[in-house]
A and B are shown apart, each in its own frame.
Chain A
Amino acid sequence: MSAGWLAEIPARRLVEDGLEERVALAPGDRPLVAVGDKVEPGMALLARLRDPHVEEVDVRAQGAEHLGAGRTFSSATRHRGRGEVRLEGELLTPVPHRARRWRLVTGQHREPVGAVAAGTVSVVQPGSEIRIALDGRAVRGAFAAGMPARGTLGVVTDALGELRPGGIDMDQSGSILVVGSRIDAEVLTRARAMGIRGIVVASLASKELRDFQASERRQRAALHPAAPFAVLVLDGAVRRPLSSPLAALLAALDGADVSILMDPPALVFDVPGLAVPGVPEDWVRIRGGRLAGAEGRVLGLSGVRRFAGGVHLEAARVVVGEDEAVDVPLGDLERLG
Chain B
Amino acid sequence: MSTTRPAFLTIDRGTATAAAGLIGHVGGRWRLLGAAAAPAAIADEALAERLRRRLAAVDLGFAEDLGLGSVGAAGDLVRLACTTEAPPELAVVAATDRALQTLANVAAAAGWRVRAAVVDGGDILETVAMLAERRLDGILAGMSDPPSGDERNLLAELGGLVTAAAERRPDLLVILAGGLAGPGARTASLLRAERPGPTVVAPAADVRDGEPLRALLDELRGGSREGRRGLAVAAGTLATVLRRRIEILEIGQASATRIVAGWQPGMPPDVRSAVVADAALLPRGFGEEELDGVLGWLTTTSDRLRVRDRLRDMALAPWSDAAGDGALLRMAAGRAALARLRDETEAFDDLPPPDLVIAAGGCWQPAPAPAVALAIADVMRRPGVRALALDQARILAPLGTITDDQERAAILADLRDDLLVPLGSLVLPGGLRGGGVAGSLSIEAPGGPVAIDLLAGGLELVDLAPGETAVLGLQFREPADLGAHARHFAVEVVGGLAGLIVDLRGIPLRLPDRAEPRRELLAGWQGVLWDGANR
Are A11 and B41 in contact, with the CB atoms below 8 A?
Answer: yes
Closest A residue, CB atoms, query B305: A207
B367 within 8 A of partner (CB): yes
Known: A92-B124, A128-B168, A311-B327. A289 touches B38 (CB 8 A): no
Known: A129-B134, A238-B310, A288-B317. A96 touches B532 (CB 8 A): no
B161 within 8 A of partner (CB): yes
Stretch at the interface among A2-10, A191-199, A214-222, A251-259: A2-10
A205 within 8 A of partner (CB): yes
B349 proximity list for chain A (CB < 8 A): none
Query: What distance in Å separates the Cβ of A311 from its nearest Cβ neighbour in chain B?
Result: 5
Query: What distance in Å separates the Cβ of B330 from its nearest Cβ neighbour in chain A?
Result: 9
B41 proximity list for chain A (CB < 8 A): 10-12
Query: What distance in Å separates the Cβ of A152 from its nearest Cβ neighbour in chain B?
Result: 29
B436 within 8 A of partner (CB): no
B219 within 8 A of partner (CB): no
A79 within 8 A of partner (CB): no
Are B36 and A314 in contact, with the CB atoms below 8 A?
Answer: yes
Stretch at the interface among A21-29, A155-163, A167-175: A21-29
Are A310 and B530 in contact, with the CB atoms below 8 A?
Answer: yes
Q: When the two chains form the complex, which single residue of A27, A143, A207, A309 contacts B323, counting CB atoms closer than 8 Å? A: A309
Are B324 and A70 in contact, with the CB atoms below 8 A?
Answer: no
Are A332 and B320 in contact, with the CB atoms below 8 A?
Answer: yes
Number of residues in A with C-beta < 8 Å to the partner? 54
Are B43 and A310 in contact, with the CB atoms below 8 A?
Answer: no
Which residues in window 118-146 of B have CB below 8 A to A? 124-125, 128-129, 132-134
Contact string against A for B residues 148-168, beta-carbon threshold 8 Å, 1 for contact and 0 otherwise: 000000001100110111011
Which residues in window 19-39 of A have CB below 8 A to B? 22, 24, 26-27
Are B320 and A288 in contact, with the CB atoms below 8 A?
Answer: yes
B347 within 8 A of partner (CB): no
Known: A27-B129, A92-B128. A22 touches B308 (CB 8 A): no
Closest A residue, CB atoms, query B531: A310
Q: Which of B161, B163, B313 has the most CB of A within 10 A?
A: B313
B45 within 8 A of partner (CB): yes
A142 to B319, CA, bound (A): 15
Are A236 and B169 in contact, with the CB atoms below 8 A?
Answer: no
Are B319 and A10 in contact, with the CB atoms below 8 A?
Answer: yes
A334 to B360, CA, bound (A): 26
A68 to B161, CA, bound (A): 12
B451 within 8 A of partner (CB): no
A205 proximity list for chain B (CB < 8 A): 305, 309
Are A93 and B161 in contact, with the CB atoms below 8 A?
Answer: yes
Are B134 and A125 in contact, with the CB atoms below 8 A?
Answer: yes
A330 within 8 A of partner (CB): yes
Are A310 and B368 in contact, with the CB atoms below 8 A?
Answer: yes
B460 within 8 A of partner (CB): no
Are B324 and A127 in contact, with the CB atoms below 8 A?
Answer: no
Closest A residue, CB atoms, query B119: A96
Q: When the two chains form the complex, which single residue of B160, B310, B328, B530 contacts A96, counting CB atoms closer than 8 Å? A: B160
Are B164 and A26 in contact, with the CB atoms below 8 A?
Answer: no
Are A288 and B321 in contact, with the CB atoms below 8 A?
Answer: yes
Are B309 and A238 in contact, with the CB atoms below 8 A?
Answer: yes
Are B531 and A128 in contact, with the CB atoms below 8 A?
Answer: no
A150 within 8 A of partner (CB): no
Known: A127-B129, A314-B36. A287 touches B305 (CB 8 A): no
Which residues in window 207-242 of A have CB below 8 A to B? 207, 235-238
- What residues make up the interface of A, taking CB atoms closer than 8 Å to B? 4, 7-8, 10-12, 22, 24, 26-27, 52-54, 68-70, 92-94, 96-97, 103, 105, 125-129, 142-143, 205-207, 235-238, 287-290, 292, 307-314, 329-332
Ordered by A's residue number, 15 sampled pairs between the chains whose C-beta atoms are within 8 Å are A7-B43, A7-B45, A8-B50, A69-B168, A94-B164, A128-B132, A289-B323, A290-B324, A308-B325, A308-B327, A309-B323, A310-B533, A311-B366, A312-B366, A312-B368
Which 4 pairs of residues, A with B, have the shortest CB-CB distance?
A: A310-B532, A288-B320, A288-B321, A308-B324
